[in-house]
Structures are given as C-alpha cells and as structure tokens.
Structure 1
Amino acid sequence: MYTVAVLALDDVIAFDLATPIETLGRVRLPDGRGGYRVVVAGPEPVVGAGPVRLQVDAGLDEVVRADLVVVPGRNDPDRPAPDGVAEFLRASVARGTRVASICVGAFTLAEAGLLDGQRATTHWLATDELARRYPAVRVEPDALYVDNGQILTSAGASAGLDMCLHIVKRDYGAAVAADAARLAVAPLQRTGGQGQYILRNRPTYQTATLEKALAWIEENAHRPLTLADIADAAGMSTRTLTRHFHAETGQSPIQWLTGVRIRHAQELLELTDHTIDRIAGQVGFPSPSNFRVQFAQTVRVSPSAYRKTFRPR
C-alpha cells in the first residue's frame, strides 16, 4: 500500500483537495485491499477552503515517509506558500518521493524550484502566467497532465482526476485503474488535451496598432483571404503587418486568421447540425480536409469528437 499525503494549505480549492482523497482513497486491489492510505497534511491544523473550514489530519513532519505528495491548487495562486512548505517539498523530492500538483498547485511546486527545466502544465487560464513568472519551466498549455517520472502536474478541475487515474495505472496496472475509473464514472483516458476546453471567446489585446486589422479579420475570416488582403485592410505593408503581429500577439497574421476560423467553427459545431464539410466552407477553410487538419492541430481532437463533447443532445 502506498501512503499519499494531500497537502492542505490555507485557501485550498476544495475540489482539488477532494479529488485525490476520493479517487486514490477508494482504489481497491483484486484481493480487496486498499491501494492507498490517504492523509491530509499541512503546516496548520485548520485551513480555509472557500466558504468552509477543514481540519488537517497531520503536520508536515508526520508525513515525511509518504510515497506520494499531492499539492492541490489555491484560490489565489499568487499567495506565497506558508513557511516550511517549499522546504518540505524539496526534501520530499530529495528522498525520492513522488510529488504531483493539481490545477494551480503547479505554482507551489514552481515556487519551490521543483519545476525548473521540467515540463509542466496547469489550468489553461493560468498557463501564460506560470510561464511568465517562472521562465525556467517548460509549460505545456494543452496537456491534461504531465508525468516527468518523479514530478507530475495536471491541468484544472477534472484533469486532476485524469492524473490520479494515471498514477493508479502506473502503480497497479490498467485493470485496477479501469476499476477506479468506473467507480469515479470517468474514462480511464480522455481524448485530446485541454485545448478543447479553452474558451472560444475572442482574445482581447490592448493594441491600437492592430485594432483595425483584428476587427477586420473577425468580420471577414470566412472569405478566401491572403496576407496581402489583411495588410491592405490594415493600411500597412505585409512586412510591417507581420512584424506587428509577431510583436503583439506572438503569431503571424495567417496563424491568427486560422485561430479565428477555428473559433467560429467551434461555435457552429456547438450550436448547429451543419455537416463538417459545410462548416469548413462557412468559416473560410479552403477544403474540408484542410479544416480537419487545422482543427485537430489546434484543439487536439477532431471536429466530430469536439461536437460529441460540446453539442447539447
């Protein structure tokens, strides 16, 4: 049996805290034995979790021999970890203990220096901030979870469940993990990454330089546009336009155009019964095959799979 210490810091996200407790704590082996002993540990005996207060089982010094430490996110990831937490996490890794974060719990690991040079992910709303604040971290914004061997990170909310099931599979094999997935009423492995869950709302940029161009693309993305068309609408040369796009959005004008078309396609996939081929033409892709390739590269699932997930039945 593995001992799991779930770290409860003040302002912990209750959902993130409960995910490893419920998922790992209910794992059963073929002979009926439990697979994990789960302990809630922290530097304080009582912590806040949104509108509730939670009592902690053990202090950090009582779980130094844990096999796995899980770090849930906190509602305010900007808050520094309490004294002693970073040292506890670093010492755990030095002893060979696995450490895993859920959602913005990745910020706590990064603060402790444990993600430097490592691949990592977090909730899609926070991936840019994680990369900005900790440039030594190789952030993978589309991943549901990242397993570096000893250190794991997961995206937000239900991605923590995906990671926990992955840990069970790693520890006890696919059969035990499949039973745990059935108990959680969840797939053992989801299709695609968190790219499909990112809000398709129009990105906003505080840029007077590109404001006209971005608005024009939004209104004309369904047309067969070229770089020259966009430059003419913006009143710039293609070279100047491309330079401004890279500087202010990190993309080329054509990459931005493709993203707009995909957002429009997501809306049609969610709200209409139009065929995939028809939607491809409606939003401006030159062919259905090109649409499918571009959509899968961006959203990480096919248009059909996306519709099955998000189209109300």
Structure 2
Amino acid sequence: MRFSTRDVSRVEETWKRYVPSAVLRDVDPRRFRFEWNSADLGGVGLVRYDLAAQVHSTAEPHEQFLACRVAGSDVRLHSDRTDLDPTRPWMTDGPRVDAHWDAGARVTALVFDRAKLEQRARQISGDDLLSLHVTDLSASSSPAGLAWERTVAYLERSLDDLAADDVILRGELARHASIVTLATFATTLRGRQRRTAQTTPAPATVRRALAFIAENAHRPITVDHIAEAAHISTRGLQYAFRRALDRSPAECLRQARLDGAHRELRSGAAGTVAAVARRWGFSHPSRFAAAYREAFGVPPSVTASANRG
C-alpha cells in the first residue's frame, strides 16, 4: 500500500492497522506531509513512511514485537526514563517508546506477530518452552543495526517485484526478516542458545507435563502433581525433562510463573508488584525481582509503571 497525504488522522489510522497503540502527538498541521509504503508478509508487517512535520510519536505494542528505526537530523528516543541511541534501530515487545523530531524523519519498521516470532525463536533454539522477550531495546551494536537496516531495504525492494500470489516467496522473506531481527536485538533467545538444543520432539510424557504446567501454573502445584498428571513417577519425570529439554520440571514451572507475572504486570493489573508476585507463587519480593530481571531484562517495577496509565 502506497499513498501521500496531508491528513493527520488518515496517517494515524493507517499506522494503527499495524501497531494499534501507535499515536501521533503535537503534530504541526501547517508543515505536515506524509509518504507511506507498507506490505504484509504474513505474520510480519513492513512499514516505511516519511513525515515532514514536528511530531511526537508513541508506541507500546501488545502481542507484537515492533522493530523500528527513526532516521532524522534531530530525532530523540526515550523509553522507561532511559534515552535510546537515535542512530540505532530499537525493538520493543511492550515497553513504551517515545520518538520526537522537529525537522522531519523517515520511520522504517518491521511488526511481528508475537506468537509467530516466538515460534521462530523456538525453532532456532530447539527449546519448546522458550518465552521470547526483549531484554535490551537498542540494537546490540552499530554494525548489527546497519545490517538490519540493509535487510529491511532488501525486503522492500524484493516486495516491489512480487505478485500478490507469490505466497512461498513472501514466506521466505518473512523468515529472513525474523532471523535477522532475532540476531540484531538482545532477547531471551540468546540465553537459551547456550543450552543443549533438543534434537527430537519432546516425548508425549513431557508434552503432557508441559500442558499441565501451562494450565495450572497459577495454582499451588508441585513437581509431584505434575508427575501425577503426566502418569509417571517424579523421578522418571525429572529424567525425561532433563533428557528432552535440559531443564528440570521445577525450572519449567518457575518460568511459567514468571511469564504469568510478566503478563499480569504488562496488562496494568491493579495491585503492587509484591501482590502479583504472591499470586504467582513468589513469597520473597527480592528473589522474585532478581529472577524477573534475569528473565526479562528489567525489574518488575519498570514493567508495572510502564503499563499503568
């Protein structure tokens, strides 16, 4: 889709189709000029637009990963009270990012469906339990950021030559975009890549146990309960998990509870961080905070404050 306009409301409406939380603020309508180009690869949206105006833009994606580069002579980027390097692309899976510019800017973005990018990360790591989260918003290095920008430019050129029914090629481009993005930004994938990868699908016993954990992590279950649900002895369950996943059932249960607390904090649920931690089985706030930061890259208080209006 391509178009040019001076209508601010149309721009914001179009941007929201890709990132529903996107908002354009403080726009000077006298200087406003907008050039838009976008394409859908299936689970990955590619967006490029030029805005000639003084603008304050915000985004805090839900169930998405937004990888973005805002290029301009006077761009300022900010998230969670931290300034971001405006010369590098950034990625967020929830924390709000604010961008300001006065003289105009070019915005280039890849918008990923959370479930699909997480599935790609699981395929790369061989970890069926990987919960994908961004641990550092800025690209890991300037060369990595430049490589990501070149990839997006290549995708845009390639899409110009594709017919609407070139489903296979679009799928390959989406795969390429996912892999390069995961290589560019720091996520929980990097820690999992240091583990021994699975070489075969998890056995049925392990899959039953994982399903039970996913459905009951918010309840006071133990490893014995998990083993009983999987129809195996506790010792046998320990062995099966270690062999299939290189993790213990207790580690998987702990991660599922951290993920649950993370979702609740991101939703802006009422209550303190300590109350959320208790609901998910963490009785020691300091231990919960340390485990949460290790898993998601930020303290739980940052996630909570960023998602409460």
Larger fraction in strand:
2
**What is the TM-score normalised by the length of structure 2?**
0.40
When Rg is computed on C-alpha atoms for both structures, the one with the higher figure is 1
**What is the TM-score normalised by the length of structure 1?**
0.40
